[in-house]
Amino acid sequence: MIYKNEDFKNFGFLKIEISKEIKDNLVNEILKLKKEKEAIILAHYYVRDEIQKIADIVGDSLQLSIEASKTNAKIILFAGVNFMAETAKILSPAKKVLLPDLNAGCSLADSCPTEDFKKFLEKHPNHTVISYVNTTAEIKALSDIIVTSSNAVKIVNSLSKDEKIIFGPDKNLGDYVNSKTGKNMILWNGACHVHKRFDLNAILNLKKLFPTAKIIAHPECEKPIILIADFIGSTAALLKFTKTDNSDTFIVVTESGILFKMKELCPDKTFITAPPTDENCSCNDCSYMKLNTLEKIYLCLKYELPEIQLDINLIKVAKKSLDRMLELS
Ligand code: 13P
Ligand code: SF4
C-alpha cells in the first residue's frame, strides 16, 4: 500500500495496524529505523516524557531551529507542532521534514490569519515587522525578523531606538518585550490557549502553601502572572534557572511537559504545576504537543509520512526573516 500525506491527516495514523511484536518493542524499533534512514529526532520540552527520552535533541524553539539549520541527517523528524516543523523545513529545504501528526497545530499561530495580518500591516506602514516563531510560514514571509521567547528582548534591543515596530502574534510576549526594552511596539492581539488559562489566585494560594517556592513563568502568560513571577523566560531559560537557583521548590507556570526535564536535571528539587482556571481540565497541557506519540513516530519513520511540504518561493521569502533571527541571536 502506498500512502500519501492526506491519508494520515484524514484517517488518522493509528488506523494502520502495528503488530504486537513491534508494539512490545517500540523504542528499539524506532531507534533501528532512525539509524537505517539516517534520521534525527528533534523534540520540544512539551512533548510526552517517553518521546523526550528517545529524542536526539530536546530543546526550546530557538535551540531546535539552530539544530534544524545545521544537521547532516537526511530526515528531520520533528516531535513538536506544525510551526516548528515548518521552521525546520524553511531552514533546511533540501531535507525531508516529518511531523508525526499534521493536526499538531498551535493556537497562537492560529490566532494570526494571513489576510487579517496583511490588513493590520497596511494600517501601519513603515514599521519593521517582528514575528514570534509561533506563526505559519506565510506570516514569516510577511515579517522582517523572527524571534523566539529566548531572544526577543535581545533582538528588539539591537534595533535602533527610533525604529517603529509591529509585533505579532503574541500580545503577552509583546507586552513583556515592551516592558523590558522601553519600546512601544504595536501588538497583534493573539494568545496561546494554554498560557492564558493559568489562574492568578490559585497560584497565589499555592505560594501561601509553599512560601519559599519561586514562581517561574513563560512570557506567553498574562500580565498579572508576569508581574508576580520571580523569574520569566523561555522553556530553556526556565530549565537553566531551576538548575542554578538555590531554591528547592518551584511553581512552574508553563506547559506541564517541561516538568520531565526539570525533574531529570534536579531530582532533589520539588516542581509544582500551576493550576489553570478550570481545575477540572488539564488545560496546562498543550493538546497539540500531546498528539505526538511513540506509535505515530514509529509509523512516521517507517512510511516517511506525513511530510512537511512548502512552496519553494514561500520558503525563500520566509527564510530571510529566520536567517535574520539566527544572525542576531
Ligand atoms: P519556547 O521557545 O520557550 O520553547 O516556547 C515555545 C512554545 O510554544 C511555548 O508555548
Ligand atoms: Fe502553541 Fe501554546 Fe502549544 Fe506553545 S503551548 S505550541 S504556544 S498552543
Cα distances from 283 to residues 59, 100, 124, 179, 226, in angstroms, run: 22, 22, 35, 27, 19
Residues 99 and 31 in one domain: yes
Total tally of structural domains belonging to the chain: 3
Q: Are 213 and 250 in contact (CB under 8 A)?
A: yes
Does residue 228 fall inside a structural domain? yes
Other CB atoms within a 10 A radius of the CB of residue 24 amount to 9
Residues 184 and 124 in one domain: yes
Residues 127 and 91 in one domain: no
Q: What's the pLDDT score for residue 96?
A: 97
Q: Give the three-class secondary structure for 53.
A: helix
The finding on whether 63 has its CB within 6 A of some atom of ligand 1 is: no
| Residues 276, 287: Cα–Cα separation, whole Å | 14
Residues 175 and 244 in one domain: no
CATH number at residue 205: 3.40.50.10800
Does residue 317 fall inside a structural domain? no
Give 321 Cα–ligand 1 centroid separation in angstroms. Answer: 18
Q: Where are the alpha helices (DSSP H) in the chain?
A: 5-11, 20-23, 26-36, 49-54, 61-70, 82-91, 107-110, 114-123, 137-141, 152-158, 171-181, 200-209, 223-228, 235-244, 258-265, 294-303, 312-328
Give 249 Cα–ligand 1 centroid separation in angstroms. Answer: 22
Residues 89 and 17 in one domain: yes
Q: Give the three-class secondary structure for 248.
A: coil
The finding on whether 235 has its CB within 6 A of some atom of ligand 1 is: yes
| Residues 254, 297: Cα–Cα separation, whole Å | 25
The finding on whether 60 has its CB within 6 A of some atom of ligand 1 is: yes
Q: What's the pLDDT score for residue 219?
A: 98
Does residue 323 fall inside a structural domain? no
The residue among 135, 167, 191 that closes a domain is: 191
Residues 9 and 97 in one domain: yes
| Residues 189, 146: Cα–Cα separation, whole Å | 17
Q: Are 273 and 284 in contact (CB under 8 A)?
A: yes
Residues 217 and 170 in one domain: no
pLDDT in tens, the chain (329 residues): 677 787 776 555 556 788 999 999 999 999 999 999 999 999 999 999 999 999 999 999 999 999 999 999 999 999 999 999 999 999 999 999 999 999 999 999 999 999 999 999 999 999 999 999 999 999 999 999 999 999 999 999 999 999 999 999 999 999 999 999 999 999 999 999 999 999 999 999 999 999 999 999 999 999 999 999 999 999 999 999 999 999 999 999 999 999 999 999 999 999 999 977 666 666 689 999 999 999 999 999 999 999 999 999 999 999 999 999 999 98
Does residue 327 fall inside a structural domain? no
Q: What's the pLDDT score for residue 16?
A: 77
Q: What's the pLDDT score for residue 283?
A: 67
Give 68 Cα–ligand 1 centroid separation in angstroms. Answer: 16
Q: What is the DSSP letter of 249?
A: E
Does residue 44 fall inside a structural domain? yes
Lookup: cell for 179: 516592558
Does residue 261 fall inside a structural domain? yes
The finding on whether 148 has its CB within 6 A of some atom of ligand 1 is: yes
Domain carrying residue 215: 200-273
Q: Are 310 and 86 in contact (CB under 8 A)?
A: yes
Give 65 Cα–ligand 1 centroid separation in angstroms. Answer: 12
| Residues 283, 53: Cα–Cα separation, whole Å | 23
Other CB atoms within a 10 A radius of the CB of residue 46 amount to 24
The finding on whether 170 has its CB within 6 A of some atom of ligand 1 is: no
Q: What is the DSSP letter of 13?
A: G
The residue among 159, 191, 223 that closes a domain is: 191
Residues 18 and 57 in one domain: yes
Label residues 63-81 b or e (16+ Cβ within 10 Å = b).
bbbbbbbebebebbbbbbb
Residues 11 and 26 in one domain: yes
Residues 95 and 11 in one domain: yes
Residues 155 and 206 in one domain: no
Residues 173 and 92 in one domain: no
